[in-house]
């Protein structure tokens, strides 16, 4: 006897068009796994690169089409609104340039990734892998899986969906961080540190979600917001839950005091992966934070704003002054990313009309410059007396005279550093201007004052590198390697994008000013 009839089940309505940017990326990731498993060895890398680039370009086009055609809607626990589509478009663009840097190899055929990441450093297995020139290409489907999680992250209207997206985004990055070709043990240590501290972020997010469920009886973010004015005597529960969820997100953007993993992971991970992490993770996490803060946590600003404002101030100060004393390019950029996270937090906390668009513009400008800067780092290598190239040169003093050795590479790095410093006619200047304007309007003038003072200090360590590149004689054996050209394309696109966003920001700002968050 049938206990259930077909009438008991409702056919789910799936918005395939709304999910198209995510489905394109995740579908391509599955295709990449199949290519890695079944394609001939010599074809795996070119097919993997092609699939990854086509998927990210396709996702960007799909997000743009949905922006033009779609009305804001909620599909179960997935919200398609301008915030989601703008973040997905930015993530897809970042994915394109990041994959170009990941795919590049020098004239001798060595890339940033280990031939067999599972080989123990210094073992006979690793020697055989190097002698045969064997190169795995699983970094491309892993990148796509992570990018797919990032695209769901800002669209999540449920704590369950938010957590699943967080794990889909993070788990591939833990693996990618441990796959560097050189300094393997440092890379594996970076992957382990990122995994352990990433687990803390997940734990905070889950605990906060549990408290908010206890408060509202729902795991849906919009329903928690609806319950805020109707539930009395449980204020401590919603405040604690909201703070813990924010802490989980603050871990991902490396805000102080949740930043300890950043310098070591950025230094140890393969440099193309570092650029992808520094750019794309921040875009996704800040977009998700925008939704949660404006829908839920912002309603508790009397309790939460002082704490979060202090966190933003500490993030700016620590990132700035720790960056001043660094003598390694990747660690300097790591602390720079911490300071920029503090700047973006000002826009999050301001709760002004249009502040979501300001945050996304800043994140876009920062992401483009970051991928480009780390792309430059991948090309600056050591050389021995016979002219053979070695690993990346990250010590600042080894960059002396780079402008004379390779003017275009040093010039591109100059553009990115000027943007980080917030110099006019770059994307960084416009981003800081709109963020700081929102901060003043939101009553955070004291925090903007700290940010302005620290911006002056950050310019010191950016221009220290500029001085070394252009006003110091070359020392040591440092060369800019000749590669297949994919990094050069990515660097050129990022440099042009940084300048265009700084000189002609109005079209992009006008579009991003239309970003609204679907409220309950």
Residues 387-446 have pLDDT tens digits of 566 677 888 888 888 888 888 999 999 999 999 999 999 999 999 999 999 999 988 999
Q: Where are the domains of the chain?
A: 17-512
Stretch 475-480: mean pLDDT, rounded?
76
* Cα–Cα distance measured from residue 21 to residue 341, given in angstroms and rounded to the nearest whole number: 26
Contacts of 450 (CB under 8 A, 6+ apart): 313, 316, 317
Average pLDDT, whole number, for the chain? 87
pLDDT confidence of residue 303: 85
Predicted confidence band of residue 477 (pLDDT cuts 50, 70, 90):
confident
* Cα–Cα distance measured from residue 186 to residue 92, given in angstroms and rounded to the nearest whole number: 29
> Which residues is 389 bridged to in the sheet?
383
Asked if pLDDT for residue 177 goes beyond 80, the answer is yes
Which of the pair, 56 or 119, is modelled with greater confidence? 56
Which of the pair, 28 or 124, is modelled with greater confidence? 28
User: Which residue shows structure tokens 């961080």?
Assistant: 177
Q: What percent of the chain has pLDDT over 70?
A: 90
Predicted confidence band of residue 484 (pLDDT cuts 50, 70, 90):
confident
User: Which residue shows structure tokens 């045969």?
Assistant: 132
Asked if pLDDT for residue 10 goes beyond 90, the answer is no
Q: Which of 191-200, 288-297, 490-499 has the highest mean pLDDT?
A: 490-499
* Cα–Cα distance measured from residue 517 to residue 345, given in angstroms and rounded to the nearest whole number: 17
Predicted confidence band of residue 9 (pLDDT cuts 50, 70, 90):
low
Contacts of 280 (CB under 8 A, 6+ apart): 91, 94, 95, 98, 146, 147, 150, 367
For residue range 71-124, what is the model confidence (pLDDT) as tens digits?
A: 767 777 888 888 999 999 999 999 999 999 999 887 766 777 776 766 666 667
Predicted confidence band of residue 3 (pLDDT cuts 50, 70, 90):
low
pLDDT confidence of residue 385: 55
- Global pTM value: 0.93
Predicted confidence band of residue 41 (pLDDT cuts 50, 70, 90):
confident
* Cα–Cα distance measured from residue 520 to residue 364, given in angstroms and rounded to the nearest whole number: 27
Contacts of 163 (CB under 8 A, 6+ apart): 202, 205, 206, 209
* Cα–Cα distance measured from residue 458 to residue 74, given in angstroms and rounded to the nearest whole number: 42
Q: Which of 207-211, 235-239, 351-355 has the highest mean pLDDT?
A: 207-211
Asked if pLDDT for residue 69 goes beyond 90, the answer is no
Asked if pLDDT for residue 302 goes beyond 60, the answer is yes
Please state, as a whole number, how many other Cβ atoms lie within 10 Å of the Cβ of residue 352: 17
Q: What percent of the chain has pLDDT over 90?
A: 53
pLDDT confidence of residue 119: 67
Predicted confidence band of residue 485 (pLDDT cuts 50, 70, 90):
confident
Of the listed ranges 10-24, 88-102, 282-296, the one predicted with least confidence? 10-24
pLDDT confidence of residue 397: 86
Contacts of 288 (CB under 8 A, 6+ apart): 153, 154, 156, 162, 165, 249
CA atoms within 13 A on the CB side of 48: 29
Stretch 246-274: mean pLDDT, rounded?
91
- CB 35 within 8 Å of CB 48: yes
* Residue 302 CB-density burial (10 A; 0-12 exposed, 13-18 middle, 19+ buried): exposed
Asked if pLDDT for residue 24 goes beyond 90, the answer is yes
């Amino acid at each position: 006897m049938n206990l259930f009839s077909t009438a008991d089940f409702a056919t789910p309505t799936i918005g395939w068009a709304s999910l198209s940017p995510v489905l394109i990326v995740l579908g391509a990731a599955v295709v990449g796994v199949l290519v890695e498993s079944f394609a001939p060895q010599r074809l795996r890398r070119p097919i993997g690169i092609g699939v990854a680039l086509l998927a990210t370009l396709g996702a960007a086009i799909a997000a743009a089409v949905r922006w033009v055609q779609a009305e804001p809607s909620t599909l179960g626990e997935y919200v398609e609104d301008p915030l989601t589509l703008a973040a997905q478009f930015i993530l897809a663009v970042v994915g394109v340039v990041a994959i170009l840097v990941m795919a590049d190899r020098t004239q001798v055929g060595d890339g940033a990734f280990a031939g067999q990441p599972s080989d123990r450093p210094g073992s006979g297995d690793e020697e055989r892998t190097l002698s045969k020139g064997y190169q795995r290409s699983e970094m491309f489907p892993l990148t796509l899986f992570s990018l797919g999680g990032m695209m769901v992250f800002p669209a999540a209207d449920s704590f369950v969906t938010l957590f699943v997206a967080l794990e889909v985004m993070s788990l591939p990055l833990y693996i990618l961080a441990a796959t560097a070709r050189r300094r393997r043990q440092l890379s594996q240590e970076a992957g382990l540190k990122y995994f352990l501290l990433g687990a803390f972020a997940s734990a905070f997010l889950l605990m906060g979600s549990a408290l908010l469920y206890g408060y509202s009886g729902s795991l849906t973010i919009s329903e928690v917001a609806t319950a805020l004015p109707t539930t009395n005597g449980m204020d401590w529960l919603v405040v604690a839950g909201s703070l813990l969820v924010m802490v989980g997100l603050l871990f991902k953007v490396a805000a102080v005091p949740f930043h300890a993993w950043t310098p070591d992971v950025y230094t140890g991970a393969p440099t193309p992966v570092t650029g992808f992490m520094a750019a794309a993770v921040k875009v996704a996490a800040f977009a998700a934070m925008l939704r949660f803060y404006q829908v839920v946590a912002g309603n508790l600003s009397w309790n939460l704003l002082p704490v979060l404002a202090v966190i933003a101030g500490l993030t700016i100060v620590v990132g700035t002054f720790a960056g001043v004393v660094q003598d390694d390019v990747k660690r300097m950029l790591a602390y720079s990313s911490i300071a920029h996270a503090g700047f973006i937090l000002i826009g999050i906390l301001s709760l002004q009309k249009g502040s979501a668009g300001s945050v996304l513009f800043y994140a876009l400008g920062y992401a483009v410059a970051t991928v480009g800067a780390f792309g430059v780092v991948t090309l600056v290598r050591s050389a021995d007396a016979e002219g053979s190239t070695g690993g990346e040169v990250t010590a600042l003093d080894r960059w002396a005279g780079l402008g004379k050795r390779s003017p275009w590479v040093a010039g591109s790095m100059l553009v990115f550093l000027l943007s980080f410093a917030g110099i006019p006619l770059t994307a960084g200047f416009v981003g800081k201007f709109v963020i700081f304007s929102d901060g003043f309007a939101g009553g955070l003038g004291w925090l903007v004052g700290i940010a302005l003072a620290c911006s002056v200090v950050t310019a010191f360590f950016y221009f220290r590198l500029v001085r070394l590149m252009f006003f110091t004689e070359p020392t040591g054996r440092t060369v800019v390697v000749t590669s297949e050209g994919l990094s050069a394309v990515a660097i050129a696109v990022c440099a042009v994008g940084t300048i265009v966003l700084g000189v002609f920001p109005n079209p992009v700002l006008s579009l991003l000013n239309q970003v609204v968050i679907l409220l309950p």
